[in-house]
Amino acid sequence: MRETFHQETLDALFDDARARSLFSTTFVVLDLETTGGAPDGGGITEIGAVKVRGGEELGEFATLVNPGERIPPYITVLTGITEAMVLPAPRLDSVLPAFLEFAKDAVWVAHNAPYDTGFLKAACAAHGYPWPKPLVLDTAALARRVLTRDEVPNHKLATLARWLGNGRQPCHRALDDARATVDVLHALIGRLGGHRVHTLGDALEFVKAISPTQRRKRHLAENLPNTPGVYVFRDGRDRPLYVGTSSAIATRVRSYFTASEKRARINTEMLAAAERVEAIECAHSLEAEVRELRLIAAHKPPYNRRSKFPERVVWLKLTDEAYPRLSIVRKLAADGGAYLGPFSSRRVAELAADGVHEVLPLRQCTQRLSTRRPSAACALAELGRCPAPCEHRVSPEEYTARAAAPFRAATGGNPGEVVRRLLTRMRSLSEARRYEEAAAMRGRLVAFLKASVRMQRLASFTALSEVVAARPAVDGGWELAVIRHGRLAAAGASPPRVHPRATLEALLATAETVRPGPGPVPCASPEETERVLAWLERPETRLVQMAAGWASPVDSAARWRELLTTAEAASSSVVRSGD
């Protein structure tokens, strides 16, 4: 074994290996000869490796290995390695540590690398050595990306060595093949500049199957801050195409130009139309999430699927009439009506309404009824499904007590009466072996109870005129947030080793003024308020100050949360089994 040494700088010792230029990266180009079997911890007959950096060869490693098994005749014909040659050679358990030390901290390179690294990984496992998890560059895969079929007939090592005009040719001996692979590697690196591949990370990603659009537009990820915030892909007319958020903007945007991006509409259509990426730095992750939601709602980018239409949520309203009924509305109003929601779609609201109509004798007709003049009854009255207030068979007071009051109680505090009636109905259907109807009743229960839990949770929080909270930051400072009526009014961060009070006072002085509205979430979208709640409910978040007490009724919908979780899990399992 012959090796020369090179003194690294301190910067090179601590930097990111993927960020190094290909010129300054240390490669160990290796090749194995084996008995031809599957990787099982043995079977290696020869190891050859060459360490290179910047076009200069720093050292070589070569040894025969006694595999401890017979070498098949066709392997001897192919490689020229006989059993007599390997009999005096060292066993793999004594060779392996020396090779691992030689290749330590370098990038491994091989032609058809999975074959060679597979044998070495199995050998490490068999002999008790930890796998070093090296970065691996495959010259065969790299050649397939750089060279076309018009240039070379195939991508075998011998073909590439001849086509590239190398003086060294492979001959199925480990060190000679490793030397030939070095020349192929250098020739391929020379071609990478034209593809704007200059660093090791670029080369590793270039080998992967990324689209031509991703490769052509990867410069859009340059010069972005690696801080928490929002990124916006914009087209040539500066229109937002896609809005996203990340705790590290630069890292996240770079991922759009790698093989990890699997969404076809993103890595072809959206990237093809994108001309620049705008970065909006934020104080912390909560501010980034809220800004993302607001930008998506304001611009409705074509390649965002979620959160685009917060205005499309609907509510189930108990109308303010002598004989109230349920109505699906889009907005809350201070009109004395009882509201349940928000629901993400009209279909879910109708499901919850069906559950309420199943157990409460609320009328389902839409006309306004007079307390003085009766009107004609509908078919539901004839079937006994409605108390027929239209014909004055029931007084307004009795109707309110039997039908309207339980629903109003469910929206304001205790949904227990409605929930228990739905459970009773569901059990009776199940006992009668009407399982499909029981499953449909369970779906109505889930829609109703989920809306009750959600609305009461939002209502108790949005009633607070101001909440100030802090969360420890990763760097040792504090993430600060001022929330008013469920809306993020200000966000900031105090630096490490500095008391956060000064930053907090500045945030309070400049925070957005938020006035209360008629319902649980009139000051922000339900999704924004729930993101803020999730941030506040983290164990490490601390409440600094509040304008008033934060509480929910003791008999609120939250006490049915365990039932809701069980019912949702049952519904999901039925859907999966049906698929």
226, 242, 245: which is closest to 234 by C-alpha?
242
**Contact status, residue 244 vs residue 215, Cβ threshold 8 Å:** no
Beta strands 107-110 and 56-64, pairing class: unpaired
**Contact status, residue 561 vs residue 453, Cβ threshold 8 Å:** yes
7, 24, 8, 9: which is closest to 201 by C-alpha?
24
Distance between CA 204 and CA 284 in Å, rounded?
Answer: 31
Distance between CA 205 and CA 216 in Å, rounded?
Answer: 13
pLDDT tens per residue, the chain (579 residues)?
444 444 444 444 445 788 889 999 999 999 999 998 788 877 899 999 999 999 899 999 999 999 988 999 999 999 999 999 999 999 999 999 999 999 999 999 999 999 999 999 999 999 999 999 999 999 998 998 888 777 888 889 999 988 876 678 889 899 999 999 999 999 999 988 887 788 898 888 888 777 778 878 888 988 999 999 999 999 999 999 999 999 999 989 988 887 777 787 887 789 999 999 999 999 999 999 999 999 999 999 999 988 888 888 999 998 888 888 899 998 888 877 789 989 988 999 999 999 998 888 888 888 888 778 877 777 777 667 788 788 788 888 888 888 888 888 888 778 888 888 889 988 999 899 998 888 888 989 899 989 888 888 898 899 899 999 999 998 889 999 999 999 999 999 999 988 999 999 999 999 999 998 888 888 889 999 999 999 999 999 999 998 877 877 777 778 888 888 888 888 765 544 444
Structure tokens at 449: 């109870």
169, 164, 107: which is closest to 138 by C-alpha?
107
| Relative orientation angle of helices 435-462 and 561-578, to the nearest 10 degrees | 130
Residue where the block lists tokens 């999704």: 527
In degrees rounded to 5, what are phi and psi of residue 492? -160, 180
Q: Is 128 helix (H, G, I), strand (E, B) or coil?
A: coil
Residue where the block lists tokens 């420890």: 472
293, 242, 238, 292: which is closest to 267 by C-alpha?
242
pLDDT at 47: 96
The 10 Å CB-count burial string (b at 16+, else e) for 247-279 is: eebbebbbebbbbeeeeeebbeebbebbeebeb
415, 420, 442: which is closest to 429 by C-alpha?
442
Q: Report CA torsion sign: 235, 241, 247, 253.
A: negative
Active site residues: 172
Distance between CA 521 and CA 252 in Å, rounded?
Answer: 31
Beta strands 338-343 and 314-318, pairing class: antiparallel
Distance between CA 346 and CA 105 in Å, rounded?
Answer: 59
Distance between CA 273 and CA 296 in Å, rounded?
Answer: 18
Helix (H) or strand (E) holding 77: helix 73-79
In degrees rounded to 5, what are phi and psi of residue 539? -60, -30
What is the distance, to the nearest Å, from the Cα of residue 262 to the centroid of all Cα atoms in its chain? 12
CA distances (Å), 56 to each of 7, 53, 202, in order? 14, 5, 21
Peptide bond into 516 cis (omega under 30): no
pLDDT at 573: 59
Q: How many CB atoms lie within 10 A of CB 364?
A: 13
Judging by beta carbons within 10 Å of its beta carbon (0-12, 13-18, 19+), is residue 462 exposed, middle or buried?
Answer: buried
Judging by beta carbons within 10 Å of its beta carbon (0-12, 13-18, 19+), is residue 410 exposed, middle or buried?
Answer: buried
Helix (H) or strand (E) holding 160: helix 157-163
Give, in degrees to the nearest 5, the angle at Cα 545 between 543 and 547: 125
Beta strands 26-34 and 107-110, pairing class: parallel
Q: Is 80 helix (H, G, I), strand (E, B) or coil?
A: coil
pLDDT at 15: 58
Give, in degrees to the nearest 5, the angle at Cα 280 between 277 and 281: 130
What is the distance, to the nearest Å, from the Cα of residue 189 to the centroid of all Cα atoms in its chain? 34
Distance between CA 11 and CA 288 in Å, rounded?
Answer: 32
359, 572, 286: which is closest to 446 by C-alpha?
572
**Contact status, residue 107 vs residue 24, Cβ threshold 8 Å:** no
Distance between CA 4 and CA 50 in Å, rounded?
Answer: 11
| Relative orientation angle of helices 405-412 and 416-431, to the nearest 10 degrees | 110
CA distances (Å), 492 to each of 102, 480, 485, 535, in order? 49, 5, 18, 14
